[in-house]
Amino acid sequence: MKAFRLLLVLLALLAWAPAHADEFSDAVRALNADNFADKIAAAEALSALGDGRAAVILEALADGRLHAAGDGTIVMEQGGAYRDAITQAAASSADASPITVNNRLRGVLRGAVGRLGLFSPDPELRKRAAESVIASPTPESAAMVRRALETETLPEVKRMLSLALANLDLADADPERRKAAIQALRDSSDPMVRGQLQHMLETESDPEVKAAADKAVGAINSRLVWVSVGANIFQGLSLGSVLLLAAIGLAVTFGVMGVINMAHGEMIMLGAYTAFVVQEVFRATLPPEYVGLYLPVAVPVAFVVTFVIGVGLERTVIRFLYGRPLETMLATWGISLMLQQLVRSIFGASNREVANPAWMTGGIDLIGGFTLTYNRVIIIGFCLAVLLALAALLRWSSFGLHMRAVTQNRPMAAAMGIPTGRIDAATFGLGSGIAGMAGVALSQIGNVSPNLGQGYIVDSFMVVVFGGVGSLWGTLLGALSLGLVNKVLEPYAGAMLGKILVLVVIILFIQKRPRGLFALKGRSVES
């Protein structure tokens, strides 16, 4: 983005043409009109000049970076510095107020910037211009794209431009051109194209063109079915990973230790608030480009914070309740109420803003309008990493060995010299710490509020019980299958009914397998 803007500036300087400076500066000044209709007219006039400098100014306007000073000079903000938009001289921002923009003007501006970019020397810019022409088509675009195509050399850009042209040509007066456009768009999987073709089916008069359009719609449709199946699976996996992330910590405290930990949700919440605090510290101390790094830092910090809180709780409350699982529920419920109110008194009752870092914002447009969003992909990866790390810890570390020993046979473990008390504390801390890390991840897709944990607690218990208490792989499989079932049902049943059906499925499933998907076997199970 930065490089792009820099290029635009260079471009503007290259195209410096004093001959029509007056015309140009008048057009720029006209942007500061009283109403949006006049502003739109001014923007269109400015872009029609074909002056390369216009692109930078129009883009600044679209981003809300173009200001008007009291004396009518137009000032442009770039990375905190202000310059006169026409002369490029440094200017002060003292009495400047931003020129207001609305969606309609923004659309016009993007189209204009796009068209101006068609003739840019940078291929990347030309590609984006082709995209923006598709997004906001205007009658004059077709001619410009055609002109750009004549001089285009790079095959990739050429392909995009012809697609853009085909999009525009669908509305052409010449039936031959329309037919050619349909041929060119047959292999597209863009629902936008399908929409246009469908629209054509209703309005088209030429039977031959109509038949071609009909065929093309059929082809696109059959491809889109597969896209939607793929999208569905991804969404299911993503939901499953969120469920899994929320449940892994509980799989330790509840699954391994048998503590009905009602405060589990609050550990997730505390993790999310830790992410918030780390973000604020980064914002206060570091330059803006490093703020995005708060997230990798927040993960271990949240682990430590919730680990310590978990150990503290275990030592002061929970250790007195071993062997009385249902009473741990009562006590942890009390803890959960207190933690919620504590956070409410410290941070206030309203939502806190935790921003996605730039590298987690947006997504890749895969095919057919299906976007693979970065934050969800990263969360899927993160959750698998956490699970694998935990499994490795339990399997190969001496702490894991001790932990398994203590949970399987406490007196025997104690007799072997394992400090059971310390192991208990560490195990509960571990479960809490994982919940804290989950909180950091979940802050990237949802609210950060004192009620955050309440939204996940019921689902987490469902996942752990469905998967089989005490089994990590059960938790994994349980979470993913519940996520998938939920998302497969959602398009047919709606979000609400889908969720109800999933709960009914869990209830019925437990009838068949009273100890979940992966039941622990052995004598210690019965109690």
Partner 1 sequence: MNAPSLSARLLAADDRRLWLGMAGCAIAFLVVVPMLNLAMPPDSALHMPNYMVTLLGKYLCYATLALAMDLVWGYCGVLSLGHGAFFALGGYAMGMFMMRSIGARGVYGNADLPDFMVFLNWKELPWYWMGFDHFWFAALMALAVPGALAFVFGWLAFRSRITGVYLSIITQAMTYALMLAFFRNEMGFGGNNGLTDFKDILGFPLAEPSTKLGLYMLSALVLGLAFLVARFVVTSKLGRIMMAVRDAESRVRFLGYSPTWVKLFGFTLSAMLAGLAGALYVPQVGIINPSEFSPANSIEIAIWVAVGGRGTLVGAVLGAFAVNGAKTWLTGAAPELWLFLLGALFIAVTLGLPKGLLGLWGQIRRKEKAHA
Partner 2 sequence: MKFVRALGAGLLAAASLLPFTAANAADDTIKVGVLHSLSGTMAISETTLKDTVLMMVDDINKHGGLLGKKVEAVVVDPASNWPLFAEKARELLEKEKVAAVFGCWTSVSRKSVLPVFEQLNGLLFYPVQYEGEESSRNVFYTGAAPNQQAIPAVDYLMSKDGGEVKRWVLAGTDYVYPRTTNKILEAYLKSKGVKAEDIMINYTPFGHNDWQTIVADIKKFGAAGKKTAVVSTINGDANVPFYKELANQGIKADQIPVVAFSVGEEELAGIDTKNLVGHLAAWNYFQSVKAPENDAFIAQWKTFIKNPKRVTNDPMEATYIGFKMWTQAVQQAGTTNVDAVRQAMYGQKVKNLTGGTAVMNTNHHLSKPVLIGEIQANGQMQTVWKSKDVIKADAWSPYIPESAKLKADWTYPWVCGNCAEPKFKM
Return residues touching partner 2 (CB under 8 A). 36-37, 64, 100, 102-104, 106-107, 110, 135-136, 190-192, 194-196, 198-199, 231-232, 235, 238-239, 242, 340-341, 344, 348-356, 361-363, 365, 369-371, 373-376, 444-451, 454-455, 486-487, 490-491, 494-496, 499
Q: In whole angstroms, what is the distance from residue 333 CA to residue 272 CA?
A: 20
The least CB distance from residue 40 to partner 2, in Å, is 9
Of positions 86, 257, 262, 406, contacts partner 1 by CB under 8 A = 262
Q: Distance of alpha carbon 55 from its chain centroid, rounded?
A: 29
The DSSP bridge pattern shows strands 363-367 and 97-98 to be unpaired
Task: Answer yes or no whether residue 336 interacts with partner 1 by CB under 8 A.
Answer: yes
* Interface stretch with partner 1, choices 98-106, 109-117, 315-323, 409-417 (CB under 8 A): 315-323
Binds 282: which of partner 1, partner 2, none (CB < 5-8 Å by kind) = none
Task: Answer yes or no whether residue 458 interacts with partner 1 by CB under 8 A.
Answer: yes
Of 440, 445, 465, nearest in space to 517 by CA: 465
Tokens of 82: 């202000």
| Rg of the chain in Å (alpha carbons) | 30
Q: In whole angstroms, what is the distance from residue 67 CA to residue 271 CA?
A: 41
Please state the φ and ψ torsions of residue 135, each to the nearest 5 degrees: -70, -40
Of 394, 375, 395, nearest in space to 383 by CA: 375
Q: In whole angstroms, what is the distance from residue 195 CA to residue 192 CA?
A: 5
The least CB distance from residue 250 to partner 1, in Å, is 11
The least CB distance from residue 257 to partner 1, in Å, is 12
The least CB distance from residue 447 to partner 1, in Å, is 18
Task: Answer yes or no whether residue 14 interacts with partner 1 by CB under 8 A.
Answer: no
C-beta closer to partner 2: residue 176 or 365? 365
Separation in Å, CA 473 to CA 205, 260, 392, 458: 60, 20, 12, 20
The least CB distance from residue 30 to partner 2, in Å, is 18
C-beta closer to partner 1: residue 405 or 493? 493
The least CB distance from residue 505 to partner 2, in Å, is 17
Instruction: Tell me the Ramachandran region of residue 132: left when phi exceeds 0, alpha when psi lies from -120 to 50, beta otherwise.
Output: alpha
- DSSP, collapsed to helix, strand or coil, labels residue 94 as coil
Of positions 340, 407, 427, 475, contacts partner 1 by CB under 8 A = 340
Total length of the chain: 527
- Rounded to 10 degrees, what is the CA torsion of 441, 445, 446, 448? 40
Binds 138: which of partner 2, partner 1, none (CB < 5-8 Å by kind) = none
C-beta closer to partner 2: residue 402 or 487? 487
Q: How many CB atoms lie within 10 A of CB 386?
A: 20
For the chain, what is the largest distance between any 2 Cα atoms, rounded to a whole number of angstroms? Answer: 95
Binds 447: which of partner 2, partner 1, none (CB < 5-8 Å by kind) = partner 2
Residues that bind partner 1 (CB under 8 A): 254, 260, 262, 317, 320-321, 324-331, 333-338, 340-342, 345, 454, 458, 461-462, 465, 469, 496-497, 499-500, 503-504, 506-507, 510-512, 514-516, 526-527
